[in-house]
Structure 1
Protein backbone atom coordinates (compact mmCIF):
# COMPACT_ATOMS: atom_id res chain seq x y z
CA UNK A 1 0.00 0.00 0.00
CA UNK A 2 1.48 3.28 -1.11
CA UNK A 3 -1.68 5.36 -1.34
CA UNK A 4 -5.06 5.32 0.39
CA UNK A 5 -7.90 5.86 -2.05
CA UNK A 6 -10.35 6.58 0.78
CA UNK A 7 -8.52 9.42 2.49
CA UNK A 8 -6.07 10.41 -0.26
CA UNK A 9 -2.94 9.84 1.82
CA UNK A 10 0.20 9.31 -0.27
CA UNK A 11 2.97 7.52 1.61
CA UNK A 12 5.80 9.06 -0.45
CA UNK A 13 4.61 12.52 0.63
CA UNK A 14 6.11 11.85 4.07
CA UNK A 15 9.88 12.22 4.06
CA UNK A 16 12.11 10.77 6.77
CA UNK A 17 12.78 14.31 8.00
CA UNK A 18 9.02 14.99 8.33
CA UNK A 19 8.16 11.81 10.22
CA UNK A 20 8.96 12.93 13.79
CA UNK A 21 7.04 16.21 13.57
CA UNK A 22 4.02 14.55 11.95
CA UNK A 23 3.94 11.88 14.65
CA UNK A 24 4.32 14.40 17.48
CA UNK A 25 1.47 16.49 16.07
CA UNK A 26 -0.99 13.62 16.45
CA UNK A 27 -1.44 14.27 20.17
CA UNK A 28 -2.84 17.76 19.69
CA UNK A 29 -4.80 16.84 16.60
CA UNK A 30 -6.57 13.98 18.39
CA UNK A 31 -7.29 16.17 21.40
CA UNK A 32 -8.97 18.69 19.09
CA UNK A 33 -10.88 16.05 17.12
CA UNK A 34 -12.14 14.16 20.16
CA UNK A 35 -13.01 17.44 21.87
CA UNK A 36 -15.09 18.45 18.87
CA UNK A 37 -17.00 15.16 18.74
CA UNK A 38 -20.62 15.66 19.79
CA UNK A 39 -20.93 12.14 21.19
CA UNK A 40 -17.44 10.65 21.64
CA UNK A 41 -18.75 7.25 22.81
CA UNK A 42 -21.51 6.88 20.20
CA UNK A 43 -21.03 4.48 17.33
CA UNK A 44 -22.51 6.01 14.16
CA UNK A 45 -23.28 2.56 12.71
CA UNK A 46 -23.21 -1.04 13.88
CA UNK A 47 -19.69 -1.89 12.68
CA UNK A 48 -18.20 1.59 12.94
CA UNK A 49 -16.21 2.61 16.00
CA UNK A 50 -16.96 5.66 18.10
CA UNK A 51 -14.56 8.63 18.10
CA UNK A 52 -13.20 7.44 21.46
CA UNK A 53 -12.63 3.93 20.14
CA UNK A 54 -10.72 5.29 17.13
CA UNK A 55 -8.61 7.38 19.50
CA UNK A 56 -7.82 4.33 21.64
CA UNK A 57 -6.92 2.40 18.49
CA UNK A 58 -4.48 5.06 17.30
CA UNK A 59 -2.88 5.19 20.76
CA UNK A 60 -2.34 1.44 20.54
CA UNK A 61 -1.10 1.62 16.94
CA UNK A 62 1.56 4.09 18.07
CA UNK A 63 2.62 1.77 20.89
CA UNK A 64 2.69 -1.35 18.70
CA UNK A 65 4.58 0.42 15.92
CA UNK A 66 7.18 1.47 18.49
CA UNK A 67 7.61 -2.16 19.54
CA UNK A 68 7.90 -3.21 15.89
CA UNK A 69 10.51 -0.54 15.21
CA UNK A 70 12.66 -1.73 18.12
CA UNK A 71 12.30 -5.34 16.98
CA UNK A 72 13.35 -4.50 13.42
CA UNK A 73 16.41 -2.68 14.72
CA UNK A 74 17.51 -5.66 16.80
CA UNK A 75 16.42 -8.65 14.66
CA UNK A 76 17.05 -9.14 10.97
CA UNK A 77 13.77 -9.19 8.98
CA UNK A 78 11.40 -10.02 11.86
CA UNK A 79 7.79 -11.00 11.33
CA UNK A 80 5.51 -8.55 13.10
CA UNK A 81 2.59 -10.15 14.90
CA UNK A 82 -0.84 -8.74 14.08
CA UNK A 83 -1.99 -6.27 16.74
CA UNK A 84 -5.45 -7.83 17.05
CA UNK A 85 -7.23 -4.53 16.63
CA UNK A 86 -10.80 -5.80 17.04
CA UNK A 87 -9.96 -8.18 19.87
CA UNK A 88 -8.00 -5.45 21.65
CA UNK A 89 -10.92 -3.01 21.40
CA UNK A 90 -13.18 -5.50 23.18
CA UNK A 91 -10.64 -6.81 25.70
CA UNK A 92 -9.60 -3.31 26.75
CA UNK A 93 -13.15 -1.88 26.63
CA UNK A 94 -12.11 1.05 24.46
CA UNK A 95 -15.43 2.83 24.75
CA UNK A 96 -15.33 2.77 28.56
CA UNK A 97 -11.92 4.43 28.90
CA UNK A 98 -11.47 7.97 30.20
CA UNK A 99 -10.93 10.32 27.24
CA UNK A 100 -8.41 12.52 29.06
CA UNK A 101 -6.28 9.51 29.95
CA UNK A 102 -6.49 8.12 26.42
CA UNK A 103 -5.43 11.46 24.95
CA UNK A 104 -2.50 11.80 27.35
CA UNK A 105 -1.38 8.25 26.56
CA UNK A 106 -1.74 8.88 22.80
CA UNK A 107 0.39 12.03 23.05
CA UNK A 108 3.04 10.15 25.06
CA UNK A 109 3.09 7.26 22.57
CA UNK A 110 3.32 9.69 19.64
CA UNK A 111 6.22 11.54 21.28
CA UNK A 112 8.04 8.30 22.09
CA UNK A 113 7.69 6.96 18.54
CA UNK A 114 8.73 10.32 17.08
CA UNK A 115 11.86 10.30 19.25
CA UNK A 116 12.73 6.80 18.01
CA UNK A 117 12.34 7.84 14.37
CA UNK A 118 14.21 11.10 14.97
CA UNK A 119 17.47 9.27 15.58
CA UNK A 120 17.35 6.93 12.57
CA UNK A 121 19.56 7.29 9.54
CA UNK A 122 19.10 5.92 6.04
CA UNK A 123 20.51 2.47 6.88
CA UNK A 124 18.12 2.01 9.81
CA UNK A 125 15.13 3.31 7.85
CA UNK A 126 15.91 0.74 5.14
CA UNK A 127 15.75 -2.19 7.58
CA UNK A 128 12.75 -4.41 7.03
CA UNK A 129 10.20 -6.48 8.87
CA UNK A 130 7.33 -8.56 7.56
CA UNK A 131 4.23 -6.45 8.11
CA UNK A 132 1.02 -8.51 8.50
CA UNK A 133 -1.49 -6.18 6.80
CA UNK A 134 -3.17 -6.23 4.34
CA UNK A 135 -1.18 -9.36 3.54
CA UNK A 136 2.24 -10.30 4.92
CA UNK A 137 4.93 -8.33 3.08
CA UNK A 138 8.43 -7.08 3.84
CA UNK A 139 8.27 -3.36 4.62
CA UNK A 140 10.97 -0.85 5.50
CA UNK A 141 11.02 1.11 8.72
CA UNK A 142 10.45 4.22 6.63
CA UNK A 143 7.22 2.65 5.35
CA UNK A 144 6.32 1.69 8.94
CA UNK A 145 6.60 5.35 9.92
CA UNK A 146 4.67 6.53 6.89
CA UNK A 147 1.97 3.94 7.54
CA UNK A 148 1.70 5.10 11.14
CA UNK A 149 1.19 8.69 10.00
CA UNK A 150 -1.44 7.37 7.58
CA UNK A 151 -3.24 5.54 10.40
CA UNK A 152 -3.33 8.77 12.37
CA UNK A 153 -4.60 10.82 9.43
CA UNK A 154 -7.14 8.26 8.31
CA UNK A 155 -8.71 7.82 11.72
CA UNK A 156 -8.97 11.58 12.20
CA UNK A 157 -11.16 11.45 9.11
CA UNK A 158 -13.18 8.62 10.71
CA UNK A 159 -13.70 10.70 13.86
CA UNK A 160 -14.87 13.72 11.85
CA UNK A 161 -17.29 11.53 9.90
CA UNK A 162 -18.68 10.02 13.12
CA UNK A 163 -19.47 13.52 14.35
Structure 2
Protein backbone atom coordinates (compact mmCIF):
# COMPACT_ATOMS: atom_id res chain seq x y z
CA UNK A 1 0.00 0.00 0.00
CA UNK A 2 1.08 3.56 -0.54
CA UNK A 3 2.42 5.65 2.37
CA UNK A 4 -0.05 7.67 4.42
CA UNK A 5 -0.49 11.01 2.66
CA UNK A 6 -1.22 14.36 4.25
CA UNK A 7 -3.75 14.30 7.01
CA UNK A 8 -7.16 15.69 6.05
CA UNK A 9 -8.27 18.85 7.80
CA UNK A 10 -9.78 17.74 11.13
CA UNK A 11 -13.57 17.70 11.23
CA UNK A 12 -14.61 19.07 14.60
CA UNK A 13 -18.16 20.06 13.68
CA UNK A 14 -21.01 19.55 16.11
CA UNK A 15 -23.05 17.24 13.90
CA UNK A 16 -26.16 17.55 16.09
CA UNK A 17 -27.23 20.43 13.82
CA UNK A 18 -28.34 17.77 11.31
CA UNK A 19 -31.28 17.09 13.62
CA UNK A 20 -32.65 20.61 13.13
CA UNK A 21 -31.82 21.43 9.50
CA UNK A 22 -30.96 19.88 6.15
CA UNK A 23 -27.35 19.11 5.22
CA UNK A 24 -26.29 21.30 2.30
CA UNK A 25 -23.84 18.66 1.06
CA UNK A 26 -26.06 15.56 0.93
CA UNK A 27 -29.60 16.88 1.47
CA UNK A 28 -30.34 14.72 4.50
CA UNK A 29 -32.42 16.20 7.31
CA UNK A 30 -31.77 13.62 10.02
CA UNK A 31 -34.45 15.08 12.27
CA UNK A 32 -37.08 14.11 9.70
CA UNK A 33 -35.99 10.46 9.41
CA UNK A 34 -38.46 8.15 11.14
CA UNK A 35 -36.81 5.73 13.56
CA UNK A 36 -38.46 2.87 11.67
CA UNK A 37 -36.46 3.84 8.55
CA UNK A 38 -33.02 3.81 10.16
CA UNK A 39 -32.44 0.05 10.02
CA UNK A 40 -33.30 -0.16 6.33
CA UNK A 41 -31.17 2.85 5.49
CA UNK A 42 -28.26 1.32 7.43
CA UNK A 43 -28.58 -1.94 5.50
CA UNK A 44 -28.59 -0.11 2.16
CA UNK A 45 -25.59 2.02 3.14
CA UNK A 46 -23.67 -1.04 4.36
CA UNK A 47 -24.34 -2.94 1.12
CA UNK A 48 -23.20 0.06 -0.93
CA UNK A 49 -19.99 0.35 1.08
CA UNK A 50 -19.24 -3.37 0.76
CA UNK A 51 -19.63 -2.98 -3.01
CA UNK A 52 -17.34 0.06 -3.08
CA UNK A 53 -14.67 -1.62 -0.96
CA UNK A 54 -14.60 -4.84 -2.98
CA UNK A 55 -15.02 -3.48 -6.51
CA UNK A 56 -11.64 -1.93 -7.29
CA UNK A 57 -8.03 -1.89 -6.11
CA UNK A 58 -8.21 1.91 -6.45
CA UNK A 59 -10.10 2.13 -3.13
CA UNK A 60 -6.78 2.75 -1.40
CA UNK A 61 -6.06 5.91 -3.41
CA UNK A 62 -6.98 9.34 -2.15
CA UNK A 63 -8.61 11.68 -4.69
CA UNK A 64 -6.56 14.50 -3.13
CA UNK A 65 -3.80 14.32 -0.53
CA UNK A 66 -6.02 15.80 2.16
CA UNK A 67 -9.19 13.80 1.35
CA UNK A 68 -9.73 10.27 2.64
CA UNK A 69 -9.66 7.36 0.21
CA UNK A 70 -12.75 5.16 -0.21
CA UNK A 71 -10.98 2.63 2.04
CA UNK A 72 -10.54 5.21 4.80
CA UNK A 73 -14.18 6.30 4.50
CA UNK A 74 -15.25 2.64 4.57
CA UNK A 75 -13.25 2.03 7.76
CA UNK A 76 -14.87 5.15 9.22
CA UNK A 77 -18.36 3.89 8.32
CA UNK A 78 -17.54 0.52 9.93
CA UNK A 79 -16.46 2.30 13.10
CA UNK A 80 -19.57 4.51 13.07
CA UNK A 81 -21.74 1.37 13.00
CA UNK A 82 -19.72 -0.06 15.90
CA UNK A 83 -19.94 3.21 17.82
CA UNK A 84 -23.67 3.69 17.28
CA UNK A 85 -24.37 0.08 18.27
CA UNK A 86 -22.34 0.50 21.48
CA UNK A 87 -24.06 3.80 22.25
CA UNK A 88 -27.50 2.33 21.63
CA UNK A 89 -26.66 -0.62 23.89
CA UNK A 90 -25.57 1.81 26.62
CA UNK A 91 -28.79 3.81 26.26
CA UNK A 92 -30.78 0.64 26.88
CA UNK A 93 -29.09 -0.14 30.20
CA UNK A 94 -28.38 3.34 31.57
CA UNK A 95 -30.69 6.28 32.07
CA UNK A 96 -29.47 9.30 30.09
CA UNK A 97 -25.85 8.20 29.69
CA UNK A 98 -23.13 10.60 28.57
CA UNK A 99 -21.12 9.29 25.65
CA UNK A 100 -17.35 9.55 25.57
CA UNK A 101 -16.04 11.86 22.88
CA UNK A 102 -15.04 10.14 19.65
CA UNK A 103 -12.54 11.85 17.39
CA UNK A 104 -12.85 10.25 13.97
CA UNK A 105 -9.65 11.83 12.68
CA UNK A 106 -7.63 10.61 15.65
CA UNK A 107 -9.16 7.16 15.22
CA UNK A 108 -8.28 7.08 11.51
CA UNK A 109 -4.62 7.69 12.32
CA UNK A 110 -4.44 5.45 15.40
CA UNK A 111 -6.16 2.55 13.63
CA UNK A 112 -4.27 3.04 10.36
CA UNK A 113 -7.38 3.27 8.19
CA UNK A 114 -5.26 3.78 5.06
CA UNK A 115 -3.33 0.55 5.69
CA UNK A 116 -6.26 -1.77 6.34
CA UNK A 117 -7.29 -4.54 3.97
CA UNK A 118 -10.36 -3.48 1.94
CA UNK A 119 -11.90 -6.98 1.99
CA UNK A 120 -11.52 -7.21 5.76
CA UNK A 121 -13.00 -3.74 6.21
CA UNK A 122 -15.93 -4.77 3.98
CA UNK A 123 -16.55 -7.91 6.06
CA UNK A 124 -16.25 -6.04 9.36
CA UNK A 125 -18.48 -3.23 8.10
CA UNK A 126 -21.18 -5.72 7.05
CA UNK A 127 -21.01 -7.47 10.46
CA UNK A 128 -21.09 -4.18 12.39
CA UNK A 129 -24.07 -2.95 10.37
CA UNK A 130 -25.87 -6.25 10.90
CA UNK A 131 -25.42 -6.04 14.70
CA UNK A 132 -26.56 -2.40 14.77
CA UNK A 133 -29.60 -3.16 12.60
CA UNK A 134 -30.55 -6.16 14.76
CA UNK A 135 -30.39 -4.03 17.91
CA UNK A 136 -32.49 -1.31 16.24
CA UNK A 137 -35.13 -3.77 15.08
CA UNK A 138 -35.36 -5.28 18.57
CA UNK A 139 -36.30 -1.95 20.16
CA UNK A 140 -39.65 -1.82 21.93
CA UNK A 141 -41.82 1.27 21.43
CA UNK A 142 -41.25 2.21 25.08
CA UNK A 143 -37.49 2.39 24.45
CA UNK A 144 -37.71 4.95 21.65
CA UNK A 145 -37.94 7.89 24.05
CA UNK A 146 -34.66 7.12 25.81
CA UNK A 147 -32.12 9.95 25.70
CA UNK A 148 -28.36 10.39 25.97
CA UNK A 149 -25.84 13.21 25.80
CA UNK A 150 -22.57 13.70 24.06
CA UNK A 151 -19.51 14.55 26.13
CA UNK A 152 -20.05 18.23 25.25
CA UNK A 153 -23.57 18.10 26.72
CA UNK A 154 -25.47 18.07 23.42
CA UNK A 155 -28.48 15.76 23.39
Common topology (TM > 0.5): yes
Question: Which deviates further from its counterpart, 57-66 or 22-31?
Answer: 22-31
Report the aligned-residue RMSD: 1.8
The alignment's TM-score, normalised by the length of structure 1, stands at 0.75
Structure number with bigger Rg = 2
The alignment's TM-score, normalised by the length of structure 2, stands at 0.79
Unpaired runs of at least 5, structure 2: 1-16
How does 1:91-130 map onto structure 2 within 5 Å? 91-130=110-149
Higher strand share: 1
Equivalent position of 2:39 in the other structure: 20
**Kept after mapping to 2: 8 A contact 1:20/1:117:** yes
In structure 1, which of residues 32, 55, 79 is the aligned counterpart of residue 51 of structure 2?
32
- Number of aligned residues: 136
Runs ≥4 in structure 1, deviation > 4 angstroms?
Answer: 35-38
In structure 1, which of residues 70, 73, 76 is the aligned counterpart of residue 95 of structure 2?
76
RCO comparison, higher one (Cα < 8 Å, 6+): 1
